[in-house]
Amino acid sequence: MKKIISIVIVLIIIILASMRLKANRDNIISQKQNIATEAVTVSIANVEKKSDSFSLNLTGTLYPYKEVDIAAETSGKITSLKYQLGQHFSKGSVIATIDDKIKKLTYESAKIEAERLKKDLTRIENLYKKDISSEQAYDNAKISYETAKNKMDEAERQLSYTKIIAPYNGVITKKIVEEGAYVNAGSPIASFVDISKLKVKVNVSESNIYYMHLGDRVKITTAIYPGVTFEGKISFVSPQGDNAHNFPVEIEIPNNAKNPLKGGTFVNIEVSIKSSASGLFIPREALQGSIKDAKVYVASNGRAVLKNIEIGRQNNDFLEVRSGLNESDKVVVSGQVNLTDNKLIKIINNI
């Protein structure tokens, strides 16, 4: 009898537990159904057809127009350094000298020998014209003089290497050696830059690179000078992109005394694209995913429908849509974080 009662109690417990689990499951299903049927609040924007000029907004970094490590052209001891960091030099100015005693003596000796042989050549040439000296003697004198002159020219060239000069107008940015140091030919002496002009280096996507051409004018701004606009010119457009389909572009910009710029400064570039071809554009905020795998939610019959699109031109505010949308479509620009495909939506704003 006790065994039967125990079995009955166990059965009752199992039945009650099953009923409780079923009730919980029904509650969860009900909550999911409520969530699924609850509309998400969103804002939308129209897909716009535009045919006017399009602006590309890019970010780049300023670099000196020219930059080089000035090197010694001969070996020897540095006898003087004529520069300080930040000092400006004109092209051809001497910035350092290397011990020139031996090279100066070599040049003076070669010069004296060349002058002596030149006099001999003149004397023998006069005798040759009077048939007093032989043609062989004249030829030997001429060869001797020319050989001596070549040695003198080479000695003069070697002597000139003891003066290290500025290759162009610029500023010293790095001191590499000290006075008294011994350097070899090819050893760097100082870093030298030309910032009378600067260049902006920027990478441009494949979808935008075909709108950029040599000589095009661009507007450049920087947070360093709020409200000031500089004008630049595209000086290089790479014919070869990298593995990510980005193309290096360089833009020249003149420097000025009123608002001087320095290498390494971040700048914003605005490129105006004049195009008669119209296109469909959406706000950048509508984009879901990446540019290469672009998607947007389209408001349709009270639901958000996820669509694949292809992106063309782009700037900080708008994206051109080459395929996937129509001019009559409306895209979701806020509230997407709570959306899934075919989700009910409630539109509160049409931007």
> Please, what is the angle between helix 101-129 and helix 135-160, to 10°?
160
Q: Give the Cα separation of 233 and 65 in Å (integer).
A: 13
DSSP designation for 25: H
- Tell me, what's the pLDDT at 248? 94
Which pLDDT value is given to residue 106?
95
> What is this structure's pTM?
0.60
pLDDT surpassing 90 at residue 351? no
Torsion angle, alpha carbons of 305, 306, 307, 308, to 10: 180
> Residue 222's CB: how many other CB atoms inside 10 A?
16
Q: What integer pLDDT is reported at residue 84 of this predicted model?
A: 85
The per-residue pLDDT for range 225-281, each reduced to its tens digit, is 999 999 999 999 999 988 988 999 999 999 988 899 999 999 999 888 766 567 889
Give the pLDDT confidence of 46-98 residue by residue, as tens digits: 998 876 567 788 899 999 999 999 999 999 999 998 888 888 999 999 999 99
Structure token pair of residue 333: 């620009």
Domains and CATH numbers, the chain: 40-53+277-350 (2.40.420.20), 57-64+195-273 (2.40.30.170), 100-161 (1.10.287.470)
* Average pLDDT of the chain to the nearest whole number: 86
CA-nearest of 110, 114, 113, 133 to 123 is 133
Write the DSSP assignment of 99-134 as a string of letters: --HHHHHHHHHHHHHHHHHHHHHHHHHHHHHTTSS-
Quick one: pLDDT band at residue 35, thresholds 50, 70, 90?
very low
